[in-house]
Amino acid sequence: MAKNVAARRNVVPLRRSRGGPLVTHHEVINRALALELVRVTEHAAVAAARLRGRGDEMAADKAAVDAMRRELNQLAIHGTVVIGEGERDQAPMLFIGEEVGDLSGPRVDIALDPLEGATLCAKGQPNAIAVIAMAQPGSLLNAPDCYMDKVAIGPGYAEGIVSLDASPAENIYRLAKAKGVAIDEITACILDRPRHAKLIAAVRATGAAVRLITDGDVAAVIDVTDPAKTGVDIYLGVGGAPEGVLAAAALKCMGGRMQGRLILDTPESRRRAEAMGIDDFSRVYDVDDMASGNVLFAATGVTTGGLLAGVRFGPQGVTTDTIVMRSSTGTLRRIRAEHGLTAKFSAD
């Protein structure tokens, strides 16, 4: 009985570092794994970047998956993939429920997309990234592979500035007022899909600008955290639910605001949601509902986008651009790594 209560509360026993004080589970994650995640996303990004612009999404995605999986399995963790490439029967690698790592270290849940924006990579377009989030067991929403309605803004705003229950116009007005700017200084990022025709028209009717993207809504949500650099103030619209969890993990680390509501409009999607323990189909999830506790997040650019430069191959080696974040400290590190000719990548 006590064991079950501890599991529900996500209580992790303390362990003693060699010759030192007791170390908690979240300290183990912070100290040992933050920079290790950078290596994981770097390898996935380099593997995918070798196939940029070649028009083969599947080959680029497979290269990134293979590289990320190999690097993950070198980490001293007992990881479980909760957001991955699909279910076991649909994805040969990094499927939901797969255990990764050498299984010797702390238990962690992992959300990942080895190549977020496979189409962007295949076409050589901006904002393809390799991305991963890691947290204590039970901290990341195990979202089914369905759509999610989303609204997201960056850090520095009070709760309730934007809401899925508000109209697009109301969200734009509220954000402009909170920023202290005119509405025509607001830019909303929206996936360019037929389903968003009314949403796009409603945003433009306010006088705000719309930036349309073809893919890559994890990168697009992250863009709202630095409007001065990316030019994006708010993300609106329907995208993938797994991508929503990854985006929430990033916003958890950076202090951004986000709401998401699963779109479960078919018997199959509802069945899958129920199998994952979701019983309230109308629930609105905020950042903490999707990514709670101590979260680590890393993303490496595959193609150049708003926040990250793409992988660069040169005569002296390979250059990568990565952000790595920790929610427990609010730390964001930008790592521009130059890997010499002797560097060994999984794609080599």
Q: Report the binding-site residues.
A: 61, 85, 113, 116, 243
Q: Checking DSSP bridges between strand 78-83 and strand 107-116, what pairing results, if any?
A: parallel
Here the tokens at position 303 are 């193609």
- Binding site feature residues for Mn(2+): 61, 85, 113, 116, 243
Residue 276 is given by DSSP the state T
CB neighbour class for 185 (10 Å; exposed up to 12, middle 13-18, buried from 19): middle
- Which residues lie closer than 8 Å to 144 by C-beta, 6 or more apart? 241, 262, 264, 269, 272, 273, 275, 276, 278
- Cα–Cα dist 328/317, whole Å: 34
Number of Cβ within a 10 Å radius of residue 202: 19
**Amino acid of residue 101:** G
Sign of the torsion formed by the C-alpha atoms of 261, 266, 272 and 276? positive
Report whether 111 contacts 261 (CB < 8 A): no
- Cα–Cα dist 95/238, whole Å: 23
